[in-house]
Every structure is written in C-alpha cells, then in structure tokens.
Amino acid sequence: MIPSAESVSVWLQISEQLVVVLLVFMSINLGISIGLLFLYIFSVRRGVEKEKGLSTAGDELVRMLESMRNDVASVREALSKVDLEPVFERFSSVESRISSLESKIAVLERRLLRPAEAPVVPKVPVRKAVETVVPSISKLSDIHLAFPQVKYAGIITSQGYVVESYGVCSEEPAKLLEIVRIYGTNSASIMRGKSRIEIFHLGEVKDLSNYGILEFMDGSEVSEEVVDGAKRAISKYFMSAIASR
C-alpha cells in the first residue's frame, strides 16, 4: 500500500518537530557537560593554588620560628655574659633605703597626728616682796635721820602756804606748786642740775589740798627705794600729826 501524499507530509512535519526537539535536548546536554567540565577544571586549579598558598605560608612560619629561636639564643648568650650580682646588690640597697624611709615617714606621721603638748615652762620662784618698814618721825626734820640723802622736805597747801619744812629748797615751794597746777597732775618729778625734786599729793585738810616736797642732794645717785621710802614717811607723818589736828 502506497502512502498518500498527505500522510507523507504529516510524517515529515512530525519528523521535523522531533529533530528540533532532539537538537534542543542535545544542545542542553552539551551545554551542561561543557559547564561541568569548566567547573571541574576551575575547582582543580583553585585546589592547586590553595595547596601552593598553604605551602608558602607554612614555609614563612617555619622561617619566622627559626629566626625567633636564633634571637632567643642570642639573648641568652648575651645575658650569660652579664654579671648580674652588682645589680642585685643595688636592688637590695635600694630596698633597705626604702624600708628606712618608710619607717621614718611612719614616725613623722605619728608625731603629726599626736596632739601638741604644751611646753613645760620652768617655774620661776616668786620672790616675796620685801616689806619696807616706813620709819615714824615725830617732826619733819627727823626725815634727815632716816634718809640722809634728803636736802629739803616740806608740806605746803594748795594756796602756797608752807605748813612745815626742813632745810632750804633750791626752788621756791610756791613756784614748784605751780608746775603741778599747770600740768593738772597730783605729782611731778624734776631734775635741777644734780638735785632731784619730788612733788606729790598728801591729802585734804579743811578743804585744802596739801602737797609734799622733797629735794635730794644727788638725784642721779639716789635710788627709787629711797625716794619712795621718804615719800611714805612724810605721808605717814602728815596723816598722824597734821591731818588729825
């Protein structure tokens, strides 16, 4: 039976489609195979490169370790040649000094923290004042017997009246009284050449102030004890003999 023309054309069409599908399938398989081949070649090359890199890094590490060993050996050899005994001795000396300084600092801290003690003041023996016995005189002229340094002794009122006197004064008693009035004081001490004149208040009698006048022959040599004693003797005489009248 001879196929018809239509069936032949249909078969040809189907055959063409199958060929196309087959070509497509073969192309895909070929592409995948070529890709896998390239991937395998690339992987192999990367593995070789990694092995070479690891080998190079290992060689570098070995060389570094060897260099470090050589350096350590050199340092040990250099240290073996150094005498460290003086260094240790110096360290010991420094440590002892530090310990000494620490102890001194501790002592200073204790002293600073300790409350300040009051300094001990030596007791000075107090001398008892020697009580001078004031001589009693019955009349003003007796002052010369108790105090030979007295050249003149007198009692004068504030009005210039001389109540009683002994000796001769180098100045008028009334003028000496003016000195007290001018300066507004109750006592005065005057140097006239070698003489020393003392003017001092004795007390009140009948609303009148009374003053004592003493003149010493050598004013530069007479002591204050003598001057004070003569004043007290006249004051005592004034209170007992004149003020009580």
pLDDT tens per residue across all 245 residues of the chain: 445 555 555 555 566 666 666 666 676 766 677 777 767 776 666 665 666 666 677 777 778 878 888 887 887 777 676 666 776 677 777 777 787 777 778 877 777 776 655 555 555 555 554 556 788 889 999 999 999 999 999 999 989 899 999 999 999 999 998 888 888 888 898 888 888 999 999 999 888 899 999 999 888 889 999 999 999 999 999 998 887 76
To which CATH superfamily is domain 140-242 assigned?
Dynein light chain 2a, cytoplasmic (3.30.450.30)
Count of CA atoms in the C-beta half-sphere (13 A) of 84: 5
Residues 34 and 28: beta-carbon distance below 8 Å = no
Amino acid at 80: S
Q: Is the dihedral of CA 55, 56, 60, 63 positive or negative?
A: positive
Alpha carbons 202 and 238: distance in angstroms, whole number: 7
Q: Where are the domains of the chain?
A: 1-82, 140-242
* CA-to-CA dists, residue 132 to 129, 180, 240, angstroms: 9, 28, 19
Single pTM value for the model: 0.47
Residue 114: per-residue pLDDT:
67
**Residue in this structure with the two tokens 């007198």, named with its chain if needed:** 154
Residue 38: per-residue pLDDT:
67
Residue 63: per-residue pLDDT:
81
